[in-house]
Chain A
Amino acid sequence: MTLLTAFARAEAAAAGRAQRIRTVRHVHLSRRPLVVIPLQLAGEACAPLAVMLGDDPDKPRTLTVYEPRDRARRFEFAADLAEVILGHLDGYLPPDDPDVHAGTPTQGAPAQGAPAQGAPTQGAPTPGAPIQGAPALEPLPDAPQLLVPNPNAAAFLRLLGRSTRLRRTDGEHAVRPTVPLLGRWLTHYGERAEVPGSALLLAMTTALAEHWATGQSDLEDANLAALLGWVDPPDGLTGQQAARLAEDPVRCPPAGPVTDPTFDNEVLEGRMAAIRDATEAGDGPALARAQAAMDAALHSQLAPTWDLMWRAHALLAELPEAAHAQRRWKDDRRSFTAQAAWLREGGAPQPRRDSAVAAAKRLARLEREQQRLAVERAHDDSLVMAEYRLTGEAFAGTVVDADLTRLDTDGKKPKLRPWLIVQTTDAVIVEPDAVLANPAFPGQAAKVIEVADASREPGRTLVTLELSGGMGRALTAPPGSTPARGDAVTYTTLRDDFQPAPQFPSREETPWTHGGPPPEYVPTDDDAQEAWS
């Protein structure tokens, strides 16, 4: 939350509709995403009740669990769900032809469970991460994007992944092989969703709230219908009126995964009891009727959210895409490709907990991504940059003077170091020696030489900058490689340092302070059984 976004909320409240806080869309949006709306049964950790999903707004598919408390049914449902989701994923994978697929990893990928023998010690690959020592995988041209209503739905899918990926396909509690496969994909998507800037699994409330400020609190924004009521109010209603209507769970069922308690108590319980009674009585026709009734009840809770999801998709799609959104999407594609390759090689499923080294690596990666995202967003979007201009970490102005041929003759060899003088009305808090960046000239650094008040014009500041980089190796800058006199420019302290990732020890070398080398992860019967009563 910043002053600018807080102000935008105030404006939205007065205007009766949401206000834009972004000029571009910072997340990649697939033209044909897989929309997934899960519902769960109250009271249990992960009891799926129904799911509505599909990649075509006119063709939703609904899967219902008639007895959600029955664990066996849960895994039958998971198998049905797997068919749909894996079917969608398959559409993005090339046919299993080793000649067609580029960059299959060769060495450095140990088989499941066996320690690398003879090969130089390297960390066991984390599923989905680039494999060290192997030629980098060429990311697939596109990857499936999953859209869910809100972060709780994403967490539910992740939990579903956790509850299914360690199941065995043989033995007493066998499940169909597609179930653990689905589990691993859901876990992969769920974990990827934690990476700042990732768009593989997108929660629509989060995506919308990132681009619009409503006239209500962020707690209320968690309700997709209310949020859309502000962003796109129906004719004749203010945002607030639309949001109030959206809060009535009878008229507007919650987007889930939690269902409305009055629905549970007054409708669902009765339908489930009817199914139970008909089953016990062995009454076929009554059972079919009871099942159809439950389908209808759950459909009534899902269909409105389905429409909201596609409306949200359309609204976001209207925004032009940010320049760096593709860079981040490429990382998403890479992650998808790597996971697909891992699965094809027969790699182990994600363990329950990260080992110490894996956890540290992951944390470092997340921090790094957060930093990159902040820089890229500001560079792509002048409204985001405006927030930094307000705090003085950025300024926008005009180049009033430029010495583009200036040389620095201090060292052994002369270096090209052009000087610019930028005049701005923004607040400037940077000090001499600070190094700034200009989004229009990536790779070019600007060191602050001097900051002075413009003598004849109050409220204007003159900043002298020394440029380096991005101009080639010659002693004259190619035209267009630097700003010129009269140009409008923006400079900011927000730079990507391009620091290399910190070095971590390999798994085998985990220091004793962190528990020493972890044992190889082998899925056990314990995981597979996981007490059924």
Chain B
Amino acid sequence: MISIVAETIEVLERRIDELRVAVRQAVLAGDRALAARQRSALTSAERAWEDALEEAAAQTEADPLARAGPVARGSVAQGKAAQSRAAEPPARSGSLLPLREQVYEALSLLQVPAAPKLIATVHEAFFGATFPTTRVTSLKRDEERSFRTAPFARPYYICAALSADYLAPSRGLLAVSTWPLELRVIGSLSPRVDFLTAAIRVAEAIERIPEPPAAARRLLQRFAASVSGAISAGGGADPAAVREAARAELTVHREADAKARRVAAERARGLQHAEQLFGTAMFRDRAGDGAADGADIAGRGAGE
């Protein structure tokens, strides 16, 4: 029984190798259809192989004398490299809060709309737990669905920031629904203004902690590198210096940005609630026919 399983494993391995070659040859020949077919055959073979391995492993537990598991054929890897890379403990996520609450924590520290990557980094730096950014992007979709099903049922929603020109959802940004509209609309100066504001918030947050973790200091360093005059002589980032430099630049942009946001917020107040939170779908192309009129565009953009 054991030898049959071992033989199956060998047969499968050969088949897998052949299929891999076949896939590559199909790709090289430009035959995408064939490549796709070979790839799915390959996936099936690989799954069968995994199953066969598990079966072999189970049998070995019953019969310790049998040799279990395939040996990777053709490998002559020597030296410590192959053996010494033992499995390392995976990065722990740690937090017991649901994702939406972690995102809320991070955004509340920043107090400006932010991208998933920044949100995750801020959370890791100040709240000790990290999450993959892919989960954050799907969160916005879930929140919209939840809102549309039962509007305002929850105390807050993780929502979109709206672009000032067409009030469409600003790509890649998340905000909190309880924030004033002025904070949740994005004018042309807003990305920079919000970045500088975020830098100040991060600096202040660090100053509140007696011994800031390395992740927080690294985050401040990255902010400082993109603010003129924020890096100290030694090359480090001191929270007070970062605050000062960011504030100094903010004074240049603040008024113009505030004005643009006020105007956009005014227009946004005319929208339905769901659209105020998750943006309009004005030009979104439903049938993929790209049907929108150039005249429309020339007319609207003037609101800036």
Binding site for B on A (CB under 8 A): 60-64, 66, 77, 80, 83-84, 248-250, 260, 262-263, 265-267, 278-285, 287-289, 291-293, 295-296, 299-300, 303, 525-526, 533
CB-CB nearest in chain A for B234: A525
- Choose among A262, A283, A285, A291 the residue that contacts B28 (Cβ–Cβ < 8 A): A262
**B20 at interface by CB-CB < 8 Å:** yes
- Choose among B39, B72, B87 the residue that contacts A292 (Cβ–Cβ < 8 A): B72
Interface string of B44-77 (1 = CB under 8 A from A): 0000000001000100000000000101111111
20 additional A-B pairs beyond A64-B81, A287-B87, A295-B77, beta carbons within 8 Å, are A62-B79, A249-B28, A262-B28, A266-B27, A267-B20, A280-B90, A284-B87, A285-B57, A287-B86, A289-B53, A291-B82, A292-B72, A292-B75, A295-B75, A296-B73, A299-B74, A299-B75, A300-B74, A533-B218, A533-B222
**B80 at interface by CB-CB < 8 Å:** yes
**B23 at interface by CB-CB < 8 Å:** yes
Chain B residues with CB under 8 A of A250? 21, 24-25, 28
Chain A residues with CB under 8 A of B222? 533
**B235 at interface by CB-CB < 8 Å:** yes
Q: Which 8 A-B residue pairs are closest in the complex by CB-CB distance?
A: A292-B72, A262-B24, A295-B77, A280-B90, A296-B72, A287-B87, A296-B75, A295-B75
- Interface-centre pick from B27, B39, B82 (highest chain A CB count, 10 A): B82
Chain B residues with CB under 8 A of A525? 235
In the bound assembly, the distance between CA atoms of A263 and B27 in angstroms comes to 10
Interface string of B3-44 (1 = CB under 8 A from A): 000000000000000001101110110000000000100000
In the bound assembly, the distance between CA atoms of A293 and B90 in angstroms comes to 21
Chain A residues with CB under 8 A of B251? none
Task: Indicate if the CB atoms of A80 and B81 lie closer than 8 Å.
Answer: yes
In the bound assembly, the distance between CA atoms of A291 and B27 in angstroms comes to 26
**B208 at interface by CB-CB < 8 Å:** no
Shortest C-beta distance, A285 to chain B (Å), equals: 8
- Choose among A80, A262, A279, A292 the residue that contacts B88 (Cβ–Cβ < 8 A): A279
In the bound assembly, the distance between CA atoms of A526 and B236 in angstroms comes to 11
- List 21 A–B pairs whose Cβ atoms lie within 8 Å, in order of A's numbering: A62-B76, A62-B78, A62-B79, A62-B81, A63-B81, A80-B79, A80-B80, A83-B79, A262-B28, A266-B20, A267-B20, A278-B87, A280-B90, A282-B89, A285-B57, A288-B87, A289-B69, A291-B85, A525-B235, A533-B218, A533-B222
In the bound assembly, the distance between CA atoms of A525 and B85 in angstroms comes to 29
- Choose among B24, B79, B218 the residue that contacts A266 (Cβ–Cβ < 8 A): B24
B 218-257 contacts with A by CB, 8 A: 218, 222, 235
Q: Tell me what chain B mostly uses at the interface: helix, strand, loop, or mixed.
A: loop
In the complex, number of A-B residue pairs with CB atoms less than 8 Å apart: 88
Chain B residues with CB under 8 A of A284? 86-87
Task: Indicate if the CB atoms of A279 and B73 lie closer than 8 Å.
Answer: no
In the bound assembly, the distance between CA atoms of A150 and B295 in angstroms comes to 58
Chain A residues with CB under 8 A of B20? 266-267
CB-CB nearest in chain A for B80: A80
Shortest C-beta distance, B144 to chain A (Å), equals: 30
In the bound assembly, the distance between CA atoms of A481 and B57 in angstroms comes to 83
In the bound assembly, the distance between CA atoms of A472 and B73 in angstroms comes to 70
Q: How many chain B residues have a CB neighbour from A under 8 Å?
A: 33
CB-CB nearest in chain B for A298: B77
Chain B residues with CB under 8 A of A299? 74-77
Chain A residues with CB under 8 A of B81? 62-64, 77, 80
In the bound assembly, the distance between CA atoms of A445 and B235 in angstroms comes to 63
In the bound assembly, the distance between CA atoms of A280 and B23 in angstroms comes to 28
Shortest C-beta distance, B149 to chain A (Å), equals: 34
Task: Indicate if the CB atoms of B90 and A279 lie closer than 8 Å.
Answer: yes
Task: Indicate if the CB atoms of A293 and B77 lie closer than 8 Å.
Answer: no
In the bound assembly, the distance between CA atoms of A278 and B86 in angstroms comes to 11
Chain A residues with CB under 8 A of B71? 292
In the bound assembly, the distance between CA atoms of A510 and B74 in angstroms comes to 58
Task: Indicate if the CB atoms of B73 and A84 lie closer than 8 Å.
Answer: no
In the bound assembly, the distance between CA atoms of A294 and B235 in angstroms comes to 40
Shortest C-beta distance, B4 to chain A (Å), equals: 21
CB-CB nearest in chain B for A62: B77
In the bound assembly, the distance between CA atoms of A481 and B53 in angstroms comes to 81
Chain A residues with CB under 8 A of B88? 279
In the bound assembly, the distance between CA atoms of A77 and B23 in angstroms comes to 31
- Choose among B74, B90, B218 the residue that contacts A281 (Cβ–Cβ < 8 A): B90
- Choose among A63, A289, A296 the residue that contacts B79 (Cβ–Cβ < 8 A): A63
Task: Indicate if the CB atoms of B85 and A66 lie closer than 8 Å.
Answer: yes
Task: Indicate if the CB atoms of B27 and A295 lie closer than 8 Å.
Answer: no
In the bound assembly, the distance between CA atoms of A83 and B84 in angstroms comes to 15
In the bound assembly, the distance between CA atoms of A249 and B80 in angstroms comes to 30
Task: Indicate if the CB atoms of B24 and A282 lie closer than 8 Å.
Answer: no
- Interface-centre pick from A64, A77, A248, A525 (highest chain B CB count, 10 A): A64
Chain B residues with CB under 8 A of A278? 87
- Interface-centre pick from A285, A291, A293, A525 (highest chain B CB count, 10 A): A291
Shortest C-beta distance, B90 to chain A (Å), equals: 4
In the bound assembly, the distance between CA atoms of A48 and B35 in angstroms comes to 29
Shortest C-beta distance, A300 to chain B (Å), equals: 7
- Choose among B24, B74, B91, B218 the residue that contacts A296 (Cβ–Cβ < 8 A): B74
Chain B residues with CB under 8 A of A293? 72
Task: Indicate if the CB atoms of A283 and B72 lie closer than 8 Å.
Answer: no
Chain A residues with CB under 8 A of B77? 62, 64, 292, 295, 299
Chain A residues with CB under 8 A of B24? 249-250, 260, 262-263, 266-267
Chain B residues with CB under 8 A of A84? 79
Shortest C-beta distance, A303 to chain B (Å), equals: 8
